[in-house]
Structure 1
Amino acid sequence: MSDHKFRFGVVATPEGGGEQWAATAKRVEELGYSTLLMPDGLQLLSPFPSLAVAACATTTLRVGTFVLASPLRAPRAAAWEGHSLSVLTGGRFDFGIGSGRPEAQRFAEALGRPWGSAGERLQAVAESIEQLRELDGDRHTPVLVAAGGPKALALAARTADIVTLAAPPLSGRDHHAGMVAQLRDAAGDRDLEIAINLFVVGDEIPPWTRHFIGADHATLVANDSQTLLRGTPAEMADELQRRRDAYGVSYISVNGAFFEQFAPVVELLTGS
């Protein structure tokens, strides 16, 4: 279903200062990952300077936001930051954006920004991408859109280079296949790279991850959750190939808690 080759990213945040973060970026690159991705929120450091440090510490590793919450910045401001990082990294930056998880509302309020309706937040995503394209000129910063509902999938189909499937944590492969079918119908001839994020690798789930996704390991298994991957490296690689055959996903990001554990799968599949 997909002509895209496998590539992999790590979703992580800085801990312990700039030197430790730079060392993490170097290790992610050394293990063969394509991208180091960073979430957005006032409980974290700002993603743009953090990703600039990571890019400066590496030579081939791409960096990206995963994903900006559109209510936290005016569209022109988000585009300005993204374009600047694209230029400064020599084109190694991916502009990831979405309409924001519910908990981002308090961040918007703290910044004095309107939260807005779902439609207004999605419109801000579209405007941020338009502003980025205007600033880029002849440059093309890859855009990743996190999309779940029909309207977000339609916007991603029109504007994104990469679409990460923002499905509920307990969603199985049939739900993901349905999302991709909607996406491809709306995209027409546009070639999109389809991504998913793995919250859990193996048979243990960190307490903070369990709290974040609201489910224990057994529940994830029972629901064939696509945010979980387990087994030996060969078994996990086989399962990812089945998912690519089923709904075209080829870009896999993984929770930073598991990037060392997941590295053998990266070695088996990258570029295949």
Structure 2
Amino acid sequence: MTDVNEFRFATNVFALESAGAFAGRCRRIEALGYDTLFAADHLGVAAPFPTLVAAAQATERLRVGTLVLNAPFWNSELLARDVATTDVLTGGRLELGLGAGHMKWEFDEAGIGWEPIGRRVDRLEALIDGLGRRFAEGGYPQHAELRAGMGLAPLQPVQRRGFGGTGPPLLIGGTGDRVLQLAAERADIVGVAGAVQVPGQAPGVLRIATATEADERVRFARERAGARADRLEWQVLVQAVVVTDDREGAARALLEHYGPMMSVEELLDTPFALIGTVERMADQVLRNRDRYGFTYYTVHGPYLEAFAPALERVRMLGG
């Protein structure tokens, strides 16, 4: 893992076409200078852990992670098995991202009960506790005789950074008070989500957060982290990247397409969208580090090529 004050850049998986095409795409992501490839935990997209193993096998240094798993979908014992297996098969390149879940329709389709956010965060916290216990225990006692007789090592994560030094780095992402407080207290990487639930709409109907909202959410999380704050890595998911000489026109076009969620000026100021020339975007990334502490940037897969020159420029300027 890098120093938390240095920039890291990531993208995520949007679609799978074929094994060969995916491997080639992963190699392209690595060649462009990205540090991490994330997989989501949504119905209708690729299952996260097989995808991450395939990505690591196709590349040499690319880290892989989940952004983020829906905690109520998972049992800690079964998830611990997947996490340990993936960390081993990726050579210790896994970053485990967890969240409380926000798309009600996915819960409905999966036959998993939709609960209020407080109960979902309870499940997230219990999942973290369960994973920590499993990673720390060094294998099931029921297997002890078998392991001893056959000289087998227990299945455990390769990394020893997260979960109190027993597992891979832990990323917790969200926007609500309880999720961010849990992240501040337990995570190695705090993901400040750039999508906010639209009041009065069905769960999962979201809008991009403003810079003012990001200021408040980061301030809240840093206060809860206390002395840990400067040791944590602060991650941001960028919702849109538009390379243009006409920032105002591009912002206006986005708002016309997605709806009037904020003013043009607010969209140009938010850290969750990068609009402008390569030089302007790189400057915004650097300024956002000073304003929010964000050093771990993730851009959606469709924008990875557009953002790559800005990524390179940030590093050239000392990031």
TM-score normalized by structure 1?
Answer: 0.88
1:30 CA displacement: 0.8
* Counterpart for residue 252 of structure 1: 297
* Counterpart for residue 122 of structure 1: 121
* Counterpart for residue 195 of structure 1: 235
Q: 1:25·1:54 contact (CA, 8 Å) conserved in 2?
A: yes
Distance across 1 between alignment mates of 2:277 and 2:19 = 34
The code of the aligned residue for 2:237 comes to N
Closer, same or farther: CA 214–76 of 1 in aligned 2, 3 Å: farther
Distance across 1 between alignment mates of 2:172 and 2:62 = 20
| 1:10-29 deviations in Å (ceiling 9; x for gaps) | 02233212111111111111
1:230 CA displacement: 1.5
Superposed, 1:12-161 pairs within 5 Å as 12-101=13-102, 103=103, 105-137=104-136, 138=160, 139-161=166-188
Q: Could you list the runs of 5+ residues in structure 1 that have no partner in the other structure?
A: none
| 1:17-70 deviations in Å (ceiling 9; x for gaps) | 211111111111111101001111121121111111111111100111111111
SS of the residue corresponding to residue 59 of structure 1 reads coil
* Counterpart for residue 151 of structure 2: none
More moved, 215-224 vs 228-237: 215-224
Q: 1:147·1:153 contact (CA, 8 Å) conserved in 2?
A: yes
Distance across 2 between alignment mates of 1:39 and 1:236 = 25
| 1:110-143 deviations in Å (ceiling 9; x for gaps) | 3332222212211221122223323333543011
1:225 CA displacement: 3.0
SS of the residue corresponding to residue 226 of structure 1 reads coil
Distance across 1 between alignment mates of 2:186 and 2:4 = 20
Superposed, 1:183-222 pairs within 5 Å as 183-190=221-228, 191-202=231-242, 214-215=258-259, 219=263, 221-222=265-266
More moved, 130-139 vs 5-14: 130-139
Distance across 2 between alignment mates of 1:14 and 1:120 = 31
Aligned-residue CA RMSD (Å): 2.6
Q: Which has the higher contact order (CA 8 A, sep 6+)?
A: 1
Seq. identity, %:
32
Matched, 1:181 2:219: yes
Q: 2:278·2:310 contact (CA, 8 Å) conserved in 1?
A: yes
Distance across 2 between alignment mates of 1:57 and 1:75 = 29
Q: Could you list the runs of 5+ residues in structure 2 that have no partner in the other structure?
A: 137-159, 161-165, 197-206, 245-249
1:99 CA displacement: 0.7
Question: 2:311 aligned to 242, 266, 269, which one?
Answer: 266
Q: 2:173·2:190 contact (CA, 8 Å) conserved in 1?
A: yes
Distance across 2 between alignment mates of 1:181 and 1:52 = 36
Distance across 1 between alignment mates of 2:310 and 2:75 = 39
Closer, same or farther: CA 18–135 of 1 in aligned 2, 3 Å: farther
SS of the residue corresponding to residue 237 of structure 1 reads helix
Closer, same or farther: CA 59–192 of 1 in aligned 2, 3 Å: same
